[in-house]
Amino acid sequence: MDISDGMAVLVAVPVCDDPGQPDAGWHYELSVVDVGCDEHYLSLCVQGDPWGWDLDDADWYVVLSR
Residue-wise pLDDT for 5-28, tens only, equals 999 999 999 998 877 777 778 899
| Count of the separate structural domains present in the chain | 1
pTM recorded for the entire structure: 0.81
Q: Which domain holds residue 58?
A: 8-65
Q: How confident is the model at residue 65 (pLDDT cuts 50, 70, 90)?
A: confident
Query: Residue 43 domain-assigned?
Result: yes
* Cβ–Cβ under 8 Å, residues 50 and 41: no
- CA 29 distance to own-chain centroid: 9
> Is 17 strand, coil or helix?
coil
Question: Is 3 contained in some domain?
Answer: no
Supply the DSSP string of 29-58, one letter for each residue: EEEEEEEEE-SS-EEEEETTEEPSS-GGG-
Instruction: Using the predicted structure, report yes or no on whether residue 59 has a pLDDT greater than 80.
Output: yes
Note whether residue 37 is domain-resident. yes
